[in-house]
């Protein structure tokens, strides 16, 4: 089968054998935002055409390809959601070259009734369930929109999204704070200072101004202020999202996992790192349920 | 005398009589960032040249003109600071056309030792002290960088800056949230919803994503999401900055005062509006102390 992780800015395809082992993989920059006029079939064929030509007929996809801007909008599955509920929400695309299925995202509502959504990461979480086993677990998927996910006995019970990475990016590129910043290597001490600062009173909007005022007083070098801002934002994310769990399972690239490990360590929380290639395991598990449709 | 409020993006000059009454006023777009090569004298003469030609010789200024990027860097006065301390920190500019004095900004440190700064607004606060009288008062100056200021018996004891307005601007112009927004008139209900949301658990970085997820579920129209974001950010500012005071004195334009009055009302706090032209009163009071230099 062909497993496809198709997001806003990238397209990753994997050729899997009948046990789910990766035989080959390819990536392209054809994220859904760069595909014009709805030509998703053409974009997929451009990347995976050789495999299709060789006779592969089953394709399972997840990510923003199932959003309103994608190939086919697939409604979110409601939490609590495990493999069964997510598989039941899959939708088939009309295409004569192969049988193409798109996984749904998931949704939940917090105590105040405000909805939250995941589209793409649910597949990585499904691919990590075996490793986690029974019981309650907290998974964090750091990034532009970090996801904190509670899993209980193989089902996602609730989650929250935090705009940490995007806030860092827009402040660095477009705010007064960014204009002061000089690029430099990551400053570990400034990062840890930022994480510590996030525990203080005053709120994030006040702490952000501290990036400038500390710079004005020579207490934060321009080359360290990006690291401080990163620690500040990640610290706020952790304090807001932390649950009763003592261990946070990080599901991301090794680089991001190391950054979050340091931040969690600074606030006295333990972390472990899950396999960041869990997406193919999740898509393979979903494919195994397709015969039940 | 001539009173000058010279900020980053604007220059306002006022001709005052011997009692501090405004005889005439002019404004220009010659904020300090638009003055090239340090030609501040020329920029000032271009606006106030007629008054200087008529014999005015005393000029008192405040704002970013006293910053490192201004005409002369005037060090911040430390809190607690009242009229005496701020007047004592004034510095004279070398200019043969008139006697030009620049007021210092003020600084304080919070419990964690992180510095904060004000440059410009201190003059407006000085100009409001008579109206406030003795005792303890909380003043809020909303804006790009909102200032919350504690005054006790005529002296500024402490304050905090919140990047509320700038956060709104960068998210509206440069984030995923802004791309969803359609311009519309201010939506009072969405604004109040945002203020209410700020009191919920989850933290600002999570609440920001709610602007998108509520939009995805049709629970927040694209024409209302800017108002919701505004209420969310102002609500977070108020919850973080509110002191024991029951009344918040708003020192800003009538338009901004109305927005903040609604937000304060939504969280059960009273507000009053101070004269937003307090800057000339403050500069006049500072000028009256110059003979003590």
Q: Region B125-146: what's the mean pLDDT?
A: 95
Contact check, Cβ <8 Å, B175/A170 = yes
pLDDT digits (tens, 9 = 90+) for A144-200: 999 999 999 999 999 999 999 999 999 999 999 999 899 878 999 999 999 999 999
Instruction: Using pLDDT thresholds of 50, 70 and 90, give the confidence band for residue B87.
Output: very high
Torsion angles phi and psi, residue A21, rounded to 5: -75, 140
- Domain annotation covers residue B241: yes
Contact check, Cβ <8 Å, B201/A117 = no
pLDDT, residue A75, reads 98
Shared domain check, B283 and B259: no
Contact check, Cβ <8 Å, A174/B170 = yes
pLDDT, residue A291, reads 72
pLDDT digits (tens, 9 = 90+) for B150-208: 999 999 999 999 999 999 999 999 999 999 899 878 999 999 999 999 999 999 999 99
Is B252 within 8 Å of B142 (Cβ atoms)? yes
- Global pTM? 0.95
pLDDT, residue A292, reads 60
Q: What is the CATH number of the domain that holds B209?
A: 3.30.420.310
**DSSP code of residue A65:** G
Shared domain check, B201 and B102: no
By DSSP bridging, strand A136-141 and strand A247-250 are: parallel
CA distances from A142 to A38, A159, A163, A164, A249 (A): 30, 13, 10, 8, 11
Contacts of B258 (CB under 8 A, 6+ apart): none
Say whether pLDDT at B293 is over 70. no
Per CB-CB distance under 8 Å, the chain A contacts of B160 are 202, 206
pLDDT, residue A265, reads 95
User: What is the average pLDDT score of chain B?
Assistant: 95
- Domain annotation covers residue A293: no
Say whether pLDDT at A13 is over 90. yes
B140 touches chain A (CB under 8 A): no
B242–chain A nearest CA distance, Å:
10
User: Edge-to-edge strands of the sheet including A146-152?
Assistant: A155-162, A146-152, A136-141, A247-250, A270-273
- Domain annotation covers residue A115: no
Contacts of A106 (CB under 8 A, 6+ apart): A76, A77, A78, A79, A81, A86, A117, A118, A122, A156, A159
Paired with B250 in beta bridges are B140, B273
**Closest CA in chain B for residue A112:** B200
| Alpha helix ranges (H) inside chain A | 40-53, 83-88, 121-126, 129-132, 164-174, 176-180, 188-197, 204-216, 225-241, 254-266, 278-288
Paired with A13 in beta bridges are A4, A26
CA dihedral for B73, B76, B77, B82, sign (positive or negative):
positive
Q: What is the CATH number of the domain that holds A73?
A: 3.30.420.300
Per CB-CB distance under 8 Å, the chain A contacts of B175 are 163, 166, 170
Two structure tokens written together for B80? 């607690």
pLDDT, residue A230, reads 97
Say whether pLDDT at B52 is over 90. yes
Is B65 within 8 Å of B74 (Cβ atoms)? no
- Domain annotation covers residue A111: no
Shared domain check, A77 and A44: yes
Shared domain check, A232 and A267: yes
Contact check, Cβ <8 Å, A115/B217 = yes
Say whether pLDDT at A244 is over 90. no
Shared domain check, A124 and A91: no
Shared domain check, A160 and A91: no
pLDDT digits (tens, 9 = 90+) for A250-281: 999 999 999 999 999 999 999 999 987 799 99
Say whether pLDDT at B146 is over 70. yes
Q: At what angle do helices A188-197 and A225-241 cross, to 10 degrees?
A: 40
Contact check, Cβ <8 Å, B241/A206 = yes
Rounded Cα distance between A167 and A184, Å, is 19
Say whether pLDDT at B6 is over 80. yes
A111 touches chain B (CB under 8 A): yes
**Pick from A115, A216, A237: CB nearest B205:** A237
* ipTM for the complex shown: 0.95
Give the residue from A105, A128, A151 where a domain finishes. A105
CA dihedral for B46, B50, B53, B58, sign (positive or negative):
negative
Rounded Cα distance between A131 and A154, Å, is 10
A75 touches chain B (CB under 8 A): no
B280–chain A nearest CA distance, Å:
27
What percentage of residues in chain A have a pLDDT greater than 90?
94
Q: What angle do CA B25, B30, B34 make, to 5 degrees?
A: 170
Shared domain check, B166 and B76: no
Q: Region B64-76: what's the mean pLDDT?
A: 96
Shared domain check, B208 and B239: yes
- Domain annotation covers residue A114: no
Shared domain check, A199 and A272: yes
- Domain annotation covers residue A281: yes
pLDDT, residue A277, reads 76
B134 touches chain A (CB under 8 A): no
Contacts of B288 (CB under 8 A, 6+ apart): none
Rounded Cα distance between B29 and B33, Å, is 10
Say whether pLDDT at B277 is over 80. no
Instruction: Using pLDDT thresholds of 50, 70 and 90, give the confidence band for residue B292.
Output: low
**Structural Rg of chain B based on CA atoms:** 21
Two structure tokens written together for A111? 């105590």
Shared domain check, A144 and A100: no
Rounded Cα distance between A224 and A219, Å, is 10
pLDDT, residue B242, reads 87
- Domain annotation covers residue B124: no
Q: How many residues does chain B have?
A: 293
Rounded Cα distance between B90 and A27, Å, is 62
A244 touches chain B (CB under 8 A): no
Interface probe for A, chosen from B203, B219, B230, B235 (most Cβ of A below 10 Å), is B203
Shared domain check, A61 and A177: no
What percentage of residues in chain B have a pLDDT greater than 70?
99
- Domain annotation covers residue B151: no
Shared domain check, B179 and B208: yes
Give me the total of CB pairs closer than 8 Å, taking one residue from chain A and one from chain B.
137
Per CB-CB distance under 8 Å, the chain B contacts of A161 are 206, 209, 213
Contact check, Cβ <8 Å, B166/A160 = no
pLDDT, residue B269, reads 94
The region of weakest confidence among A215-219, A227-231, B182-186 is B182-186
Structural domain count of chain A = 2
A208 touches chain B (CB under 8 A): yes
Contact check, Cβ <8 Å, B200/A112 = yes
Say whether pLDDT at B244 is over 80. no
Q: For residue B226, give its domain range.
A: 162-273
Instruction: Using pLDDT thresholds of 50, 70 and 90, give the confidence band for residue A134.
Output: very high
Please give the biggest Cα pair distance in chain A.
66
Say whether pLDDT at A131 is over 70. yes
Rounded Cα distance between B272 and B252, Å, is 11
B204 touches chain A (CB under 8 A): yes
Per CB-CB distance under 8 Å, the chain A contacts of B164 are 205
């Amino acid at each position: 089968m062909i497993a496809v992780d198709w997001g806003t800015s990238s397209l990753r395809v994997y050729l899997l054998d009948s046990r789910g082992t990766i035989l080959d993989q390819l990536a392209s920059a054809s994220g859904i935002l760069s595909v014009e006029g709805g030509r998703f079939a053409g974009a997929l064929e451009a990347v995976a055409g050789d495999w299709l030509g060789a006779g592969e007929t089953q394709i399972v996809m997840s990510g923003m390809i199932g959003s309103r801007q994608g190939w086919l909008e697939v409604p979110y599955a409601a939490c609590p959601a495990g493999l069964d509920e997510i598989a039941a929400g899959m939708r088939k695309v009309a295409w004569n070259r192969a049988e193409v299925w798109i996984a749904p995202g998931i949704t939940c509502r917090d105590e105040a009734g405000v909805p939250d959504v995941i589209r793409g990461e649910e597949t990585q979480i499904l691919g990590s369930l075996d490793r986690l086993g029974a019981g309650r677990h907290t998974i964090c998927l750091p990034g532009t929109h970090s996801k904190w996910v509670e899993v209980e006995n193989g089902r996602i019970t609730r989650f929250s999204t935090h705009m940490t990475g995007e806030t860092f990016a827009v402040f660095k590129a477009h705010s007064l704070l960014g204009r002061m910043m000089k690029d430099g290597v990551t400053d570990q001490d400034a990062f840890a200072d930022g994480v510590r600062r996030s525990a203080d009173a005053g709120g994030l909007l006040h702490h952000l101004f501290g990036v400038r005022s500390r710079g004005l007083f020579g207490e934060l070098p321009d080359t360290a202020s990006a690291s401080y801002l990163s620690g500040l934002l990640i610290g706020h994310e952790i304090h807001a999202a932390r649950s009763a769990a003592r261990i946070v399972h990080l599901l991301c690239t090794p680089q991001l996992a190391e950054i979050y490990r340091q931040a969690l360590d600074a606030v006295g929380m333990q972390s472990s790192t899950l396999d960041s290639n869990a997406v193919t395991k999740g898509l393979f598990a979903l494919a195994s349920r397709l015969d039940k449709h």
